[in-house]
Structure 1
Amino acid sequence: MLKKAPLYSLFCLVTLPMLAQKHPVPDPLMLNNGGRVTSAKEWQTQRRPELLERFASEMYGHSPGKPAAMTFKVFDTDAKALGGKATRKQVAIYFNGKPDGPRMDVLIYSPNQVKGPVPAIVSLNFWGNQSVNSDPAIRISTSWIESGKGNPYIDVSCVVNHQATEACRGLNARQWPVDSILSRGYALVTAYREDIASDEPSTKFTTGVHPLYPEFQNRGDNFGTVAAWAWGLSRIMDYLQTDKAIDAKRVAVFGWSRLGKAALWAGATDKRFALVISHESGAGGAKLFHRGVGENIRRLCTVFPHWFAGNFKKYMDQDTLLPFDQHMVISLIAPRPVYVASAEQDKGSDPEGEFEGAKAASEVYKFLGTTGLPIADMPPLNQSVQGQIGYHIRPGGHDVTDYDWAQYLRFMDNHIKKK
């Protein structure tokens, strides 16, 4: 049993009827006082706030609100970008309003063939905005960039002393089908993770936004890096609400791997995101810790000690006994649409655990009157199942492919694209 676990958490360790597991997962519809949620209003006003506080206190950390002094500066606009297909806009977000303070550069491509405000997909990227497309006008990131030989996802030989060079343009374009996104009538909005918070353990909490909020550090519920990335996604949304070219009520948030964890938490904490896509987010994302399979809490807290709040460390080696789990994070997005996806060979992310996380969250979606996940058993490879919750698993490993994007765009068409 978990040491010093609050008494109410013992009431929550019940078996959901829809799951037959060795280690039962907590019921998201069970209140802290042991009672059960009986109405949609009670979910929104009582249970949802309870869960948000639990995850903020014990896992992701508490985050600051919108900075009062934050400012936006559009420093580039080209109405004939990408051969005339798009309008490119680049925006600097100054978190404390000072040009010499921490800054996030946001790259926006909007489709020229669509009139009026367009829906958009927002995502953080791994190697800087210049990596998304070979467009020579994209401002090259000056933030620290991951490098090293043998990177399994990308050839990072263009990165010199952890700085991007001109050779890094389009470095990761294969994972960003800009033409497909634009042709479907969506804007692509992206920013670099390191502009917000460092993913390098040796510089954790010393760059990006963290120095602006010392009061959120040196405590058990500190502002972790995953939470900081989610917070940064909300700051992008703050800007989009001022941009007349974007329909801010039809914005999806997407993330892959660790950035998929951030996308889920952003969707859970910010209702302005109309749709959430969690791509191979694994532990701390969509997968269930209670299965005891794949990446575990000990690895998260030792290999990536900056990702989550300090309080999360007390659950190391207690994965199957947690008083909470990731289906509850997915549930916090309800009834907004959410898509979870896996890859067959991505064993660390535990594909079955990601499916089971979506399946367990479906209980809340159905309680709130939506379809939830419309299947009970994991689908075969390359079969996208789409209700209010979507899911697919494809062949291959930890990556983002054209097949994945095809399913996401279809899901977005069904839920946020005007007919």
Structure 2
Amino acid sequence: MIIRKSSLILFTTIFINTFLIFSQEWNVNYDESKVETYSLPSILTSHSGMIINNVNDWEEFRRPEILYSFTNHVYGNIPGKLDSVIVKITEHGNYLNSLAKRKQVTLTFIKNGKELSTDLLIYLPNSIKKAPVFLGYNFQGNHTVIDDKNIFITKSWVPANEALGVTSNQATEKSRGEMSRRWSVEKIINAGYGLVTLYRGDIDPDKDDFSDGIHQLFYLKDQKKPEADEWGTIAAWSWGLSRVMDYIEADEDIDHEKVIVFGHSRLGKAALWAAATDKRFAGCISNNSGEMGAALSKRNFGETIEVINTAFPHWFCGNFKKYSKKEYMLPVDQHMLISLIAPRPVYIASATDDLWADPKGEFLSAKEASVAYNLYGISGLITTTMPQPDSPIIGVVSYHLRTGVHDVTDYDWEQYIKFAKFNNF
């Protein structure tokens, strides 16, 4: 795999500079001694005060309560269903000296006489008839995931990025394979797994404009943006992952019962919500997802609800705006989001230098969520103490703190493959 050091350095520099600006503007806290006392909502106490102590009550009463609160206060409701979906295999071939097969598939969503398409990039090991897969979005286009000349260059809107040759929001040949360091495709294939990925901008461009993504297909007459209780971009991305799952269920080359949904950073937030809302995902991996991903929001450490609602107002539903600077009023926190994935395996990953994402808050969230797993006779996270860097805890609920910055590395993928094998995927 070719790693372009210039791109790696530039991406890291952009990330650090961006969040230094955010940190100064919003006086973000990075001092553990300044984390004030906070109270987390109880996972196992219902709104009526009933203590949940068995799987049936959890599944029938408490889990739906938590899901409802997240939907209406944070992520937003999906306003209807598609009229139809057209599936077209647009390209296929071999890769890695025929160790893997490549497939490109276009899904076209149709609603109210309008349509929107997304392209899937699929790599599967030839050695396995029905392969388990990792499914996740990429940030800059399928063609950036690996240096393969056969991958179509996205025609969707792409954020301007000089390092990738994107100066007018249009991807170019220069960006081919530029993000391959984040996708250990050969390592994944050699371990017996496949990869399914799609560009986030196909479903919804990551900007405060709801006119050119999936939302506009569902608008009523004269509607210009989602209502206050309707989906933002994170929920739209999660919805998109479920639509890919619809396709996977019909793909005879993929084991649809062994699909692990994966996401990094803001896409890790989307992956967690997808796993919470769609039980067809057999497992979930959240890589450096931070605030409103895996980290506890009530700690007020690193990124906060106020920062998200100001810098990225399109990510969550309109109702979520009222909780800026009022985390204590939010009836849920992210340990409850992870609990919605139980009893399915989940992996939460942090990085030592990624204080913006609050590694400790991510660990505590996984630890607190373990009580839901206990109902199913599963131990959950098997430690109460945050592990040292590069000392992964692999189980049904897994966690690691990697040395380094906000990124996805070969080290991360090595742990995710171990996680998949441990849980018999």
Q: Same fold (TM over 0.5)?
A: yes
Q: Which amino acid aligns with 2:132?
A: P
| Aligned 8 A contact 1:220 1:311 in 2 | yes
Residue 264 of structure 1 is matched in structure 2 by 272
* Alignment counterpart, residue 119 of structure 2, candidates 105, 110, 113: 105
Residue 173 of structure 1 is matched in structure 2 by 180
Normalised by the size of structure 1, how large is the TM-score? 0.90
Counterpart Cα distance in 1 of 2:347 and 2:146: 25
| Aligned 8 A contact 1:103 1:195 in 2 | yes
The 3-state SS of whatever aligns with 2:419 is helix
* Alignment counterpart, residue 327 of structure 1, candidates 335, 346, 349: 335
* Deviations 1:40-59, CA, capped at 9 Å, x for gaps: 01111111111111101000
The 3-state SS of whatever aligns with 2:284 is strand
Residue 391 of structure 1 is matched in structure 2 by 399
* Deviations 1:97-131, CA, capped at 9 Å, x for gaps: 899821010000000122x2110010000000000
Confirm or deny that 1:69 pairs with 2:84: yes
Q: What does residue range 329-348 of structure 1 map to in structure 2 within 5 Å?
A: 329-348=337-356
Counterpart Cα distance in 2 of 1:241 and 1:88: 18
* Alignment counterpart, residue 105 of structure 2, candidates 87, 91, 113: 91
Residue 369 of structure 1 is matched in structure 2 by 377
* Deviations 1:281-320, CA, capped at 9 Å, x for gaps: 0001000011111101111001000000000011110124
Q: Could you tell me how far 1:62 is from its partner in structure 2?
A: 0.8
Residue 10 of structure 1 is matched in structure 2 by none
Counterpart Cα distance in 2 of 1:383 and 1:99: 52
Counterpart Cα distance in 1 of 2:124 and 2:97: 13
Q: Could you tell me how far 1:83 is from its partner in structure 2?
A: 2.3
Q: What does residue range 136-215 of structure 1 map to in structure 2 within 5 Å?
A: 136-148=149-161, 155-156=163-164, 158-201=165-208, 204-215=209-220
Q: Could you tell me how far 1:246 is from its partner in structure 2?
A: 0.2
The 3-state SS of whatever aligns with 2:156 is coil
| Aligned 8 A contact 1:343 1:393 in 2 | yes
Larger mean Cα displacement after TM superposition, 188-197 or 313-322? 313-322
Q: Which amino acid aligns with 1:131?
A: T
Residue 28 of structure 2 is matched in structure 1 by none
Counterpart Cα distance in 2 of 1:231 and 1:342: 25
Counterpart Cα distance in 2 of 1:299 and 1:87: 43
* Alignment counterpart, residue 237 of structure 1, candidates 245, 256, 263: 245
Counterpart Cα distance in 2 of 1:263 and 1:230: 6
Q: Identity over the aligned pairs, expressed in percent?
A: 46
Residue 5 of structure 1 is matched in structure 2 by none
Q: Which amino acid aligns with 1:409?
A: I
The 3-state SS of whatever aligns with 1:340 is strand
Residue 7 of structure 1 is matched in structure 2 by none
Q: Which amino acid aligns with 1:301?
A: N
| Aligned 8 A contact 1:268 1:332 in 2 | yes
Unaligned runs of 5+ in 2: 1-34
The 3-state SS of whatever aligns with 2:398 is strand
Q: Could you tell me how far 1:84 is from its partner in structure 2?
A: 1.1
Q: Could you tell me how far 1:32 is from its partner in structure 2?
A: 1.4
Counterpart Cα distance in 2 of 1:275 and 1:21: 33
| Aligned 8 A contact 1:274 1:416 in 2 | no
Counterpart Cα distance in 1 of 2:332 and 2:399: 22
Q: Which amino acid aligns with 2:335?
A: H
Counterpart Cα distance in 1 of 2:117 and 2:72: 27
Counterpart Cα distance in 2 of 1:372 and 1:38: 16
Call closer, same or farther: CA 1:74–1:100 in 2, change over 3 Å: farther
The 3-state SS of whatever aligns with 2:97 is helix
Q: Could you tell me how far 1:227 is from its partner in structure 2?
A: 0.3
Counterpart Cα distance in 1 of 2:177 and 2:372: 41
Unaligned runs of 5+ in 1: 1-19, 150-154
* Alignment counterpart, residue 414 of structure 1, candidates 389, 397, 422: 422
| Aligned 8 A contact 1:66 1:235 in 2 | no
Larger mean Cα displacement after TM superposition, 385-394 or 122-131? 385-394
| Aligned 8 A contact 1:70 1:97 in 2 | no
Counterpart Cα distance in 1 of 2:68 and 2:328: 21
Q: Which amino acid aligns with 1:331?
A: S
Q: Could you tell me how far 1:224 is from its partner in structure 2?
A: 0.6
Q: What CA RMSD, in Å, does the superposition of the two structures yield over aligned residues?
A: 1.7
Q: What does residue range 2-17 of structure 1 map to in structure 2 within 5 Å?
A: none
Q: Could you tell me how far 1:66 is from its partner in structure 2?
A: 4.9
Q: Which amino acid aligns with 1:59?
A: V
Normalised by the size of structure 2, how large is the TM-score? 0.88
The 3-state SS of whatever aligns with 1:182 is helix
Larger mean Cα displacement after TM superposition, 351-360 or 28-37? 28-37
* Deviations 1:314-370, CA, capped at 9 Å, x for gaps: 111012443210000000000000000000010110000000110110111112211
| Aligned 8 A contact 1:290 1:321 in 2 | no
| Aligned 8 A contact 1:37 1:43 in 2 | yes
Q: What does residue range 122-133 of structure 1 map to in structure 2 within 5 Å?
A: 122-133=135-146
Residue 59 of structure 1 is matched in structure 2 by 74
Residue 55 of structure 2 is matched in structure 1 by 40
| Aligned 8 A contact 1:274 1:336 in 2 | yes
Counterpart Cα distance in 2 of 1:98 and 1:88: 33
Residue 16 of structure 1 is matched in structure 2 by none
| Aligned 8 A contact 1:71 1:97 in 2 | no
Residue 311 of structure 1 is matched in structure 2 by 319
